[in-house]
Amino acid sequence: MAGRKKPLVVITRKLPDQVETRMRELFDARLVVEDRPMSQPELVAAVKEADVLVPTITDRIDAALIAQAGPNLKLIANFGNGVDHIDVGAAAKKGMTVTNTPNVLTEDTADMTMGLLLTVPRRLTEGANILKSDGKWVGWSPTWMLGRRIWGKRLGIVGMGRIGTAVARRAKAFGLSIHYHNRNRVAPVIEDELEATYWESLDQMLARMDIISVNCPSTPATFHLLSARRLALMQPSAYIVNTARGDIIDEDALIQMLQDGKLAGAGLDVFEHEPAVNPKLVKLVDKGKVVLLPHMGSATIEGRIDMGEKVIINIRTFFDGHRPPDRVLPNRV
């Protein structure tokens, strides 16, 4: 971009220093000092003057905001894979391109999913907390803090995309039997590798699994995909883990089932009304029913830097007059 005016790139959140430094070198990058979500007036000001907006999941880029954008805003380069917080259709109608950062968080999110798959049935958080309480641990006992073995159990994966497949590979190594529900059946070579069983009916799979892992994207079609009716199909001894998006599960129904003992437990890294966490869920932590994490699935240094590099590539490609490699099309959301 030598000899040309650098595009004004407004970044809505604090990013890793390495990413911010590179953006300052390449663009007229406007950084933020405080690591907090922008207010609505700040977002409005940003879209009025920016050539490129770099939002994150904490920013609601809806049709009303896009309508207020200035004539220079041509690219929304999302710092993240999911774009459920962006009205991609409204952006397209106004001549804006939307990009995301796919394929860089797969392994990190799969690691976290596997961590919850181990933590919840084996009661790891409960055990760790006992040692922080003076005088509560009196030594080993053959009947104390008994959890559930995961080896040999059936794992049902809801959404067998990149992350779901990565979870399946890890889980198979831990001796779980792999089952999955997906819009489309995966390639036979992957099924053979994972010895995976495909379920066309989500209802039928849910009723037969020991553990359910939610790994599908958040779309209008997956909102409350795990509804009260579907959750009621699960066995009382079953566990559910969600590292995808909170609104895929009917959270109120899940809480009620956990309170009533109709599910054995849950591991949640995401919540339906983030960043708010239902107080009833927090109470269930104290009862050993759930493990809650503050949306940490992709939180690795390597992952965040890779995301930033993807954003930079998309911006540079766009302003070099080419189609960005990670363009999000409205009909694909």
Beta bridge partner(s), residue 214: 158, 242
Residue 191 bears catalytic tag: no
Name the strand (E) or helix (H) holding 154.
Answer: strand 154-158
> Which 3 state secondary structure label does DSSP give 28?
strand
Residue 224 bears catalytic tag: no
Of 158, 138, 256, the closest CA to residue 216 belongs to: 158
End-to-end CA separation in angstroms for the chain? 31
Q: In angstroms, what CA-CA distances link 292 with 56, 240, 241, 259?
A: 22, 12, 10, 16
Name the strand (E) or helix (H) holding 155.
Answer: strand 154-158
Question: Which residue matches tokens 């309480």?
Answer: 133
Of the listed 245, 251, 272, 304, which one is catalytic? Answer: 245
Burial class from Cβ neighbours inside 10 Å (0-12, 13-18, 19+) for residue 170 reads middle
Residue 4 bears catalytic tag: no
Measured CA angle at 72 (ends 66, 76), to 5 deg: 50
- Read off the tokens for 104: 């860089």
CB atoms within 10 A of CB 35: 8
Of the listed 20, 193, 274, 309, which one is catalytic? Answer: 274
Residues 6+ positions from 192 with CB-CB distance below 8 Å: none
Residues 74-87: b if buried by 16+ CB within 10 A, e if exposed: bbbbbbbbbbbbbb
Cα separation, 136 vs 297, in Å, equals 31
Q: How many residues does the chain have?
A: 333
Of 64, 67, 106, the closest CA to residue 297 belongs to: 106
Name the strand (E) or helix (H) holding 211.
Answer: strand 211-214
Q: Which residues are annotated as catalytic?
A: 245, 274, 295
